[in-house]
C-alpha cells in the first residue's frame, strides 16, 4: 500500500555521465508522469505513459533524455551525457486512470546535481 517511490532520492554525477532514475508507481495505476522542477520554478512536463505506451513525448528536452515503462509498472528515466543544466528535481507521479481524470500521486523526487 505504499505510495509512489522514486530512487535514488539524491544523485550527484559528473558532467558527461549517464544517469538512470527510477519510479515505482502505485500498484494498479495506469497513468505515469515524469516532471522536472528547477529551483523555485514550476513543474516542466517531460513525458506521460498510459500503460506501457507513451502518447506524449513532446516534453523531453533533448534526445539525451529517454524513458521507458515495462509491464505497466516501473518506469525509468535515462539522461545520457548529463549537462549542468540537467540539474533539477525529477518528479514522478501516477494516477488510477488517464491524464487529469483522477488525482495524481507524487513521489518525493530525485534531486539530480551535475557537477
Partner 1 sequence: SQQGEEDPQALSIQEGENATMNCSYKTSINNLQWYRQNSGRGLVHLILIRSNEREKHSGRLRVTLDTSKKSSSLLITASRAADTASYFCATDVAGGADGLTFGKGTHLIIQP
Site of interaction with partner 1 (CB under 8 A): 4, 31, 33, 35, 37, 39-43, 45, 47-48, 50, 55-56, 58-59, 89, 91, 93, 95, 99-109
Nearer to partner 1, 18 or 68 (CB): 68
Least Å from the CB of residue 17 to partner 1: 24
Q: Judging by DSSP bridges, how do beta strands 44-50 and 5-7 pair with one another?
A: unpaired
Which lies closer to partner 1 via its Cβ, residue 17 or residue 108?
108
Q: How far is Cα 97 from Cα 81, in angstroms, rounded to an integer? A: 34
d(CA 92, CA 109): 7
- For residues 1, 7, 78, 15, the Cα torsion angle rounded to the nearest 10 degrees is 170
In the complex with partner 1, the residue whose CB is nearer, 9 or 17, is 9
- Alpha carbons 99 and 3: distance in angstroms, whole number: 18
Using the minimum distance from each CB to partner 1, give the nearer residue, 45 or 76. Answer: 45
Amino acid at each position: 500500500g505504499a505510495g509512489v517511490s522514486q530512487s535514488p532520492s539524491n544523485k550527484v554525477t559528473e558532467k558527461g555521465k549517464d544517469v538512470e532514475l527510477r519510479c515505482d508507481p502505485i500498484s494498479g495505476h495506469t497513468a505515469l508522469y515524469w516532471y522536472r522542477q528547477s529551483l523555485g520554478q514550476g513543474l516542466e512536463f517531460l513525458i506521460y505513459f498510459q500503460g506501457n505506451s507513451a502518447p506524449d513525448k513532446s516534453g523531453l528536452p533533448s534526445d539525451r533524455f529517454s524513458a521507458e515503462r515495462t509491464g505497466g509498472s516501473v518506469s525509468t528515466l535515462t539522461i545520457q551525457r548529463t549537462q549542468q543544466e540537467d540539474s533539477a528535481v525529477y518528479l514522478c507521479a501516477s494516477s488510477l486512470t488517464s491524464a487529469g481524470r483522477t488525482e495524481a500521486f507524487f513521489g518525493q523526487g530525485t534531486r539530480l546535481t551535475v557537477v
